[in-house]
Amino acid sequence: MTSHLRCMRSSLVELLTRNSGQQFGGSEVSRTQRLSKPIAGLFWGSILVPIIVVGIVAVSSPNGGYDPSYWAWIDVIYAFSYVKVVITVVKYLPQAWLNYKRQSTEGWSISQILLDLAGGILSLVQLVLDSSLQSDWSGITGNPIKLLLGNITIVSDVVFVVQHYILYRDQAGPKAQPARDITTPLLGDAEAS
């Protein structure tokens, strides 16, 4: 139950974060920009797969979906979990690719990535602690989605940390402008004076 509450809380935080970026001058989308076919497929697949699984459970389960030897309602939860794994993999790729193409992380904040990294590490620590307290180490592999999400998060966040602090540390982006202040001449180059 707590993992469901945690999932809803993280979805709400993500929604608020996305909306605050738009509200406070975040990225602007042009009128000509369209959703790519792979992302549209991912979007519709994320909606259709759980609906199809609900249909399978409702139609093929002999006792209303409560017998785990057939399709059961827990399979719907697993379908949502696998959708979350796919979305988690896909959500990191565009920013990592953009950082690589620009050879810079300028204009991009690392703070949420550091918090995400801490969450991934703590998630894996929780799996290990739960398994050790129950003296049942199969609990680590018994929750493959949590294990997978924690590892995907950590690997992706380490990529971002390496990009930000090691690879592109002192490099400005391609559109970077020199800092202007009250002493910068209005005409001509600042180094020429």
Residue 94 has which token pair?
Answer: 């565009």
Domain ranges of the chain: 37-83, 103-171
- The SS3 call for residue 182 is coil
What residues of the chain score a pLDDT lower than 50? 23-24, 190, 193
pLDDT given at position 141? 87
Residue 15 confidence (pLDDT): 65
Helix axes 73-102, 37-60, angle to 10 degrees: 170
| Polymer length in residues for the chain | 193
- Give the global pTM: 0.69
pLDDT digits 0-9 by tens, 68-119 = 778 888 889 999 999 999 999 998 898 999 999 999 988 888 999 999 999 9
pLDDT score of 163 = 94
Q: Report how far apart, in Å, the C-alpha atoms of 159 and of each of 98, 104, 162 are.
A: 13, 13, 5
Q: What is the DSSP string of 97-132?
A: HHHHHHT--TT---HHHHHHHHHHHHHHHHHHHHHH
Provide the H-helix boundaries in the chain.
Answer: 2-23, 37-60, 73-102, 111-133, 138-142, 144-162
